[in-house]
Amino acid sequence: MVDRTPLLEMRGIHKRFPGVKALDNVDLELHAGEVLALLGENGAGKSTLIKVLGGAHQPDAGTIRIEGQALVMRNPQDARRAGVGLMYQEFNLVPSLTVRENIFLGQEQTRLGFLRHRDEHRLAAELLARLSMPLNPELRCGSLSVGQQQAVEIAKALSQRMKILVMDEPSAALTPQEVERLFVIIRDLKSRGIGVIYISHRLDEIFEIADRVMVMRDGALVGSRPLSAVTRNELIEMMVGRSVQQEFPKQPAAIGEDRLVVSGLTRGRRVRGVSFSVRRGEVLGLAGLVGAGRTETARLIFGADRLEAGTVVLDGKPLRIRCPRDAIRAGICLLTEDRKSQGLVLGRSVQENFALPNLARFSRLGCIHQRREADVFAEYVRNLRIKISGAEQRVRDLSGGNQQKIVLAKWLERHADILIFDEPTRGLDVGAKYEIYLLMNDLARQGKGILMISSDLPEILGMSDRILVMHEGRVAGEIRDVAGATQQRVLELAVGGAK
């Protein structure tokens, strides 16, 4: 008789924070050798549930069992001893230490009080070989690629004899090739009986790697189903709680004359002779692999990096952009790839972040007209449906989608003509992505020009009027018939293939 005792059972988990019911009677079940996708919008309770499992939060009620044994996770050490490994989106590695030192940090191999470096080196090499990642264990982690650092994180968890691995947005910063390698590793973990909880907003990945899906909304369990018994649209509706007709609600806009024309943009080998135009009412998608030069091109247009050669023309007028201030004054704005470190001041309020590039508009004779600033900000909060507790709420406490809307609001108040969106929906849930897409449609209808950089190929194909693909600092090709294009065609150009 087959033993179907779950590897992990979490039953009736409740958790409250001041004024917030974060988890409301949540059940989770995971079997050995299974990949369970944990889905939900930002704020659905996924992170809180995982932190309860990992010992970072104590539940107000509920039980946790691993292999049928009831356990109390009082701290992360208890969770590790129970065989639970957590991989967060931000890696928990020490860049100045070697691969070997990071793998065995806190569990060093010793003999008579001396570290056994040779044994650690051998064990680290064996763990990395299991992951098909033949790294030198003596390399510094700070010198590794994102994909290599991720393998080190998994090796670290394996060294602790884990039974359960939780992966939170593991593919967010990976190239397509690194994602495929990650899936090979996950399938190997499955074959060894390890249970994997996989958290991601990328539905393509969920259908490729998961066996079963569990959806949360507003701190409660919506449902759990085998992947074979649910469609993509059904999953989206479970997450957002309403019917969504299309994942990419692209609306045609009246595309007019060229607004932004860049010619021969050059900076070292990262950007080499890049030329293109963005037309009135157009969403121009810019695709390519990590390192292709997409973000570097955007930074040159915005003045964040200095041009070595090339020209930028807006509405027929040549621009001399030496710094971001010049670009902003000309009507060009950039929603940066990393909104937290480059687009927002996390310790300041939402209204202060909105006002920073607009102080001159709210000032007279050196004094800020605070009432006018508050009134204008409140209008954007209503129009963009920004969810905040008040104008003084710190921006770091918002969800990713609402942070992105704050960045967008401050640039809209500048009445920008060209908006550069660099990875506009990275880390956002399905509902927040949908709202960003609707905002892009509205901006295009107003005659704005949008340059959208994205590593999400369905997004590029679903929201672009035209697509440029970069490879090694150059434009490798252009796709005008977006409706007839495929992901394979984009990837062929991205790797320098057929023109």
Give the CATH number, domain containing residue 307.
Answer: 3.40.50.300
What is the reported pLDDT for 173?
Answer: 66
pTM: 0.67
Domain endpoint, select from 413, 441, 462: 413
Would you place residue 265 in the very low, low, confident or very high pLDDT band (cuts 50, 70, 90)? very high
Q: Is residue 1 part of a domain?
A: no
Q: How does pLDDT run across 60-109, given as a tens digit for each residue?
A: 999 999 999 999 999 999 998 999 988 876 677 899 999 999 988 877 66
* First and final C-alpha spacing in the chain: 58
3-state DSSP call for residue 264?
A: strand
Domain endpoint, select from 396, 413, 430: 413
- Whether residue 137 is predicted with pLDDT greater than 80 in this model: the reply is yes
Domain count, the chain: 3
Domain endpoint, select from 240, 261, 291: 240
Alpha-carbon distance 391 to 373, whole Å? 11
Q: Is residue 2 part of a domain?
A: no
The single-letter DSSP state of residue 37 is E
User: Tokens at residue 18, please?
Assistant: 């001041």
Q: Please check whether residues 221 and 257 belong to one and the same domain.
A: no
Range of the domain at 319: 246-331+416-499
Q: Is residue 341 part of a domain?
A: no
Alpha-carbon distance 306 to 159, whole Å? 46
CB 283 within 8 A of CB 463: yes
CB 437 within 8 A of CB 409: no
Burial of 202 (0-12, 13-18, 19+ CB in 10 A): middle
Q: Of the given ranges (22-36, 167-181, 255-269, 474-488), which has the lowest mean pLDDT?
A: 167-181
What's the Cα-to-Cα distance from 248 to each of 251, 405, 438, 441, 463, rounded to whole Å?
A: 9, 18, 9, 11, 6
Would you place residue 2 in the very low, low, confident or very high pLDDT band (cuts 50, 70, 90)? very low
Show Cβ contacts of residue 363 under 8 Å, excluding neighbours closer than 6 positions. 369
Alpha-carbon distance 386 to 241, whole Å? 18
Number of helices and strands (H, E) in the chain? 16, 24
- Whether residue 36 is predicted with pLDDT greater than 80 in this model: the reply is yes
Q: What is the DSSP annotation of 445-475?
A: HTT-EEEEE-S-HHHHHHH-SEEEEEETTEE
Q: Please check whether residues 30 and 150 belong to one and the same domain.
A: yes
Query: Cα angle at 420 between 321 and 470, to 5 degrees?
Result: 95
The single-letter DSSP state of residue 98 is B
User: Tokens at residue 491, please?
Assistant: 């990837």
Q: How does pLDDT run across 364-379, given as a tens digit for each residue?
A: 777 777 888 888 999 8
